[in-house]
Amino acid sequence: MVDRFVFDRYSGSEAPTYVPDSGVPDVSLTDIFPRKLLRETLPLPDPGERETVRHFSALAANNFSVDGNFYPLGSCTMKHNPRLHEQAAALEGLRDLHPYQPEDSVQGALGLLYELERCLCAITGMDYFSLIPSSGAHGEFTGMMMIRKYHEQRGVKKTHVLVPDSAHGTNPASAAMCGYATVVVPSNSGGCVDARAFSRALNEQTAAVMLTNPNTLGIFEEEISELKRMAHEKGALLYYDGANFNALAGIGAPRAMGFDVMHLNLHKTFSTPHGCGGPGAGVVGVTERLRAYLPVPRIERRDGRYSWSQGSPETIGTIRSFYGNFLVCVRAYAYVLRLGGAGLRRMSEHAVLNANYVQRMLKEVLDVPYDRACMHEAVFSCASLAGRGVRAYDVAKRLIDYGIHPPTMYFPLIVKEALMVEPTETESKETLDRFIEAVRAICREAREEPDRLLRAPLSRPGGRVDEARAARALEVKWNPAAGR
C-alpha cells in the first residue's frame, strides 16, 4: 500500500509528516459485492466549479425556510428564532463543554440550568422542573411515568386516563405506554371539554386527566376550575400538555388552574424552533407532591456550589443520556432573560391578537367551526369547498405557489377538512395581510378553476408529489436529456 502523508503547517513552511500504514489489507469490491451490481462508469455530470456553485445556489433558493417564508405552522414548529440566542449558544464556554467534565469545571453551565429551572417555575407556578426530556412526547411520557409511580406508591389501583377528543395524538400514546387505557371525552358545542360527559367518565379508577389549555381548537377551557375539582375529588391528577403555552406565557399559570404535572416545549414557546425534527426539550414541571418521582440526575445548589444529585429513592430513574439537550436550554434561558415577565406577556398577547386578526379576516371565505374569539391559533374548515372537489390539502399545496408554507392540515381531527393557522407573535400585519389575500385568491380559484387547484403547486420544481406512493416506493432516476 502506498504511504500516505499530510502536511503540517508551522513557521510558514510545509513539511511532510508520514502516516503509518493502517495494516488493513486491500480488498477488491468484487470480493464484497456481486459483479452484476458494480458499474464501470456512472452517468454523472462533470461540471466546473462555477456551474456547481450556481447549481447548488439555485437549489438553495428553492428551499422554504422561516427566514424567507411565512410559516402558518407557527409556534408548533417554526417560530422565529432570534439570532442573539444563537450567539449565546455558540459561546465557546457553552458550546464546547463535554458531558463528562468534572463538576468544578462546569459550575457556570450548572448554574444556568438551575436558574432556568427557577425561571420556569416562576412562569408556570410549578415547584420543580426537570430539563432532561428531549421532546414534548418524551416529556409527556416522563410525566405519565411519574403519575403512575405516584399512584403505585400510594397503593391505589388506577386503570385509565381521560383525554379530550381534540387532544394531541401523543396524549393517548403516552397513557398507553404507561399501561393505562384511554377514555375519550367529547367536546361541547363551544369547543371545550363537555363537563357532563367528563363527570360521567370520571371515577376512582381514573389515574389522570390530560388537557391542553388552550386546546387544539385554540379555545381556552372555560370550565377548567370545575374539571380540576371533579378530578381531584376522585383522586386523579391533572396533566398539562404545554404545547400551546405560547398563548399563556406571562398571563396564566398552569399551577393556578389546578394542574399537578406539565411539560413545556422549550423548542416551541421559548425559542429554538425544531423544524425537521430536532433538537428539542420537553421539560417537565411538577408540584411538591410529585417531587420525589422526578427523573435523575437533579441539579442542587449548596453553599453557592452546584452539583449533581441522584434524587430520592422514589425517582423514576434515568430517562436519557446526560442532562438533555443543553444548548436548547441555553437559548431558552437567553429568551426568558431577554424578555422578562412583561415581555413574555406581550409575546403571548401579540400571538393571540394575530390569530384573531387572521380568523376575523378569513371567516368570510372559510368556515369557522367554533366561531368565537380564539387564543394563539385559528382553526378553519375547507368543507364548503368540497362541492367543487377541493380539499384542505389542495388549498395548502396552492399556498406554496404564493411563497407560504402550508399550515397544519386535518387537525384537530374533530374538524372536517381542517386548516390550523398559527401566526405567532413575530409576524407583521403586512405578512398576515399577504397570507389573507393569498387564501382569498385560492378560495376564488376553487370556485372558478378548481381543476387548477388540484394540480398545485404549479410553480415549484417537481409539481405535486404522490406523497403516499413516494414514501413507499421511492424511485430516483437520472435524466441526462433534462439535466436533472
**Rounded mean pLDDT of 263-285?**
84
128-130 and 4-10: which strand pairing? unpaired
Nearest to 380 by CA among 391, 398, 367, 365: 367
Q: Which domains does the chain have, with CATH numbers?
A: 74-79+348-460 (3.90.1150.10), 83-339 (3.40.640.10)
User: Model-level pTM greater than 0.95?
Assistant: no
Single-letter amino acid code for the residue at 335 = Y
Which pLDDT belongs to residue 80? 84
Q: What is the pLDDT of residues 323-380, one digit of tens each?
A: 999 999 999 999 999 999 999 999 999 999 999 999 999 999 999 999 999 999 999 9
Which pLDDT belongs to residue 379? 97
CA distance 452 to 433: 24
**Rounded mean pLDDT of 384-402?**
94
Q: What is the pLDDT of residues 167-191, one digit of tens each?
A: 999 999 999 999 999 999 999 999 9
Q: What is the pLDDT of residues 284-301, one digit of tens each?
A: 999 999 999 999 999 999
Residues 6+ apart with CB under 8 A from 33: none
Give the DSSP letter string of 248-316. Answer: TTTT--HHHHT-SEEEEEHHHHTS---GGG----EEEEE-GGGGGG--S-EEEEETTEEEEE---TT--
CA distance 272 to 328: 6
278 pLDDT tier (thresholds 50, 70, 90): low
Nearest to 230 by CA among 203, 252, 210, 211: 203
